[in-house]
Every structure is written in structure tokens, then in C-alpha cells.
Amino acid sequence: MFGFGRKKTESRSSLNQSQGRSFLEIVGLSSEAEVSMEDALGVPAVWAAVNFIAGTMAGLPLSVYQTNAQGVKAKVRSTAANPVVDMLHRTANDDLSSYQWRFDMFVGVLTEGRDVTYIERDSAKRPINLMPLPGAKAKMLPNGRKQYEYRANGVTKIYDQAEVLDMTFMLRSDRVSHRSPLRQCAIAIGKAYNANKYGSKLFASNGLPAFVLEGPFNSEKSALRASENVADATKEAARRGANVLAIPIGHQLKALSHDPDKMQLVEAQNFAVVEIARIFSLPPTFLQDLSRATFSNSEQQDLHLVKHTLKRWVEQFEAELNLKLFGRNANRFAEFNLDGLLRGDYKTRMEGNSTAIQTGQLTPNEARSMDNRPPLSGGDALLIQGATVPLDGHTDAEEPAPESEIDNDTT
């Protein structure tokens, strides 16, 4: 089966090894093939999925808000008294930007399945720095709380649950250990890896398939010697571009595998993209698979991305930040702005701002602040289209008199 980093312990005789090389290992479909974490990231679809989600989450605007007694929300500005605002939005610590911290965090979650960050606080217990703890291990205490063990430079440190941000892809039933999506779906990723590996071997030999040599062999050594001679001759013929290969009398050379078209190698790789997209809940379009993309479904896939993929990560990350940075029942909270996904779509952004201003949902200055533009005089008033009036409004037209007041005297 496919594994990540497991060593082979089984030993084989020289004959079994030569037979394995002649079929499974040459073709690249050995049932014992190992796929390390680096090999998995070498599969283009896995690489694209991890980078896409991590980069998207790292690039979303992340702000801190505060609610008053009436529940009105207002954005908190970065000041000396509010260092957490700058920590989340710009710099996680003196050496790490907020973008890079979030990107690295989600790469860890999407590959290893977990990422832990230590929250450094000042004397007033305010969060001032976020320090990544790669490889930190969690354990459950008898009181039901977690502790995290981190070892670096020969020194082991223990952190309480409230001192760290713990982001996981999926926890196991013990609520402590975690699952890695790449390890959990190693078979599907291994098939994609082996398809790429076989394709590279095939094209490295100028498109020549694997062969089997049949003939009257008197011993195991003569069979090995003949197969090695034919293999060397085949490679030399391919190097020189020769079309004819001389075979000893009484022997036959048959192709062991088919060409990539008959083997449906392209179809297998395309299916692997769909499988990997399922692992990360991504539409295949975002893994650069446009085989089923149309003008009509592209917008729906954008909605799918936000509603069914990013929404989960946004809410999980916000919940962890708010609990660990501000505590329970706090009137401050961190929140992502998903409108940041439209940063590169100028036309849609302007049309949305225009509609919001004309319907009294945003002031002109609020819309300008979204593009980091300075406020203007008179731009803090809510506006509405002048033609919009209440349904029960009265007009200036004179209402007709009641029928009972009409003079019906004809005399």
C-alpha cells in the first residue's frame, strides 16, 4: 500500500528482485511504492490545492471589532493600547508578517493536519506576538484540558491550552491526535504520484514501453544476462534514434505495456485531479482543470468556493482567534472580510459600492475607506435615490370629493 515515510523491511532474492524490476518497478505501479510528504506535494494538483487555500486565507483582510452596549459594531484601530490589531493585520512578530504566518499555518494544516502558534503577551496580558511552534505535540490531562509540548534546540517547553492557537484539519475520536489529509488519502494521492512517475519514465526512454524477453534460457544467470544486454541495446538504439533492434536467434521481444493513449494515462491523471479536489473540497476549476468549465458555471463555482470551502476555514480560524485572544464573552472579536476576494475585480467592486450607496446601506466615505481613499467633506451622510418614495406617500393631486357631497339638484 502507499505510505508516508515508512521503511521497507521485506527482503527478496535476486531473482524476485529482477522479476519485480521487469514489471512493477519499471512500470512504476508497485503495490509497495512509498509516497513521502514531499512526493505528495510534487503532484501538481496537491501543490495547487494547498497553495490556493493557504494563499486565499492569508490574503483575506482580518480586522478587530468592538461592540457597545447596544450591540453596534465598530472597527478597532491599531494603537499602543490595542497591539493585537496590528499583530493580526500586519506583523505577527518582529520577524514574521501576518500574511506569511497565516500562509505557513494553513500549509501545515492542509499537509500535516495541524499547526500550533504560541501567543506571547505583555505584562498587561495583552497579546503582542504570535510565535509558530512547528511540530508541537498535544496531550490530554486528567482534568480534560490539553497541554502542548514543544522541543527546540534540545529544550522542551510546555504550553497550556489557553496559550496557543491550535488549528487542525480534523481531530480523531480522542479529541487530541489529528488526521492529515495527505496521509489519510495516501492511496488516491499515490495513484496520481505513480501516474506522473510512470509518465516521466516513459518519456525519459523516448517513449519506449517496457519489454519482456522470451527465449530458451538455460539458467537464471543467463536470463539475467540476456535481459541486461537487451535493455542496454534498447537504450542505445533509442539514443541513436535507430528503428531496428537485433534479437538473438530463438528469442522474442514483446512490449509489456501499451502506449499512453491506450493506457488512458491522460484520463488517469485528469481523474486524479478530481480526486484531489474532493480531498480539499475544491471545485476542479481552482486546480486549473477547465475541462468542464463554462461561462454559466464559473460564477457558481466561485459561490461554491466561498459557501462550502472558505466558510469552514474562516469560521474555524475566527473562533480560535476570538476564544484564545479575547476570551469568553468578550466584546471584541476578529473577523475576516470576504469582500477582499473581489480586490482584483474592479468593475464588480464599483458596482456593488454604487448600489450600496444609492440604497442607503453605505455612506460614500465608508465605500471610499474600503479602497483606502481619504474621506471627503459631506461624505458621511446616507443617501438614497430621489425617486424612491414610501408606498403610502401622498401626492399633491386633489382627491375627488365623496359621491355623497356631489350636488344632484337639477332644478
User: Cβ of 165: how many Cβ atoms within 10 Å?
Assistant: 20
Segment 55-66 shows an average pLDDT of 94
Determine phi and psi for 161, rounding to 5 degrees.
Answer: -60, -35
Grid cell locating 291: 475541462
Lowest mean pLDDT among 96-105, 114-123, 177-186, 245-254: 245-254
Q: Which residues contact 14 (CB under 8 A, 6 or more apart)?
A: 224
Segment 261-283 shows an average pLDDT of 82
Position 145 scores a pLDDT of 93
What is the identity of the amino acid at 139? K
Helix residue ranges per DSSP H, 344-406: 346-358, 364-370
Q: Which residues contact 374 (CB under 8 A, 6 or more apart)?
A: 368
Query: Which residues partner with 272 through β-bridges?
Result: none
Rg (CA), the chain: 33
Segment 324-331 shows an average pLDDT of 93
Position 166 scores a pLDDT of 98
Segment 131-135 shows an average pLDDT of 96
Distance, in Å, from the CA atom of 338 to the CA atom of 342, rounded to the nearest integer, reads: 8
Highest mean predicted confidence (pLDDT) among 215-219, 261-265, 356-360: 356-360
* pLDDT 10s digits, 373-408: 888 998 999 988 777 666 665 555 555 555 555 555
Position 23 scores a pLDDT of 36
Indicate whether this model's pTM tops 0.85.
no
Determine phi and psi for 396, rounding to 5 degrees.
Answer: -80, -5
Segment 145-170 shows an average pLDDT of 96
DSSP-assigned letters across all residues of 1-49: --BSSPPP-----HHHHHHHIIIIIHHT--TT-B--HHHHHTSHHHHHH
CB 189 within 8 A of CB 143: no
* pLDDT 10s digits, 15-52: 333 333 433 343 444 444 567 899 999 999 999 999 99
Quick one: what percent of the chain has pLDDT higher than 90? Answer: 41
Position 258 scores a pLDDT of 55
Distance, in Å, from the CA atom of 372 to the CA atom of 351, rounded to the nearest integer, reads: 17
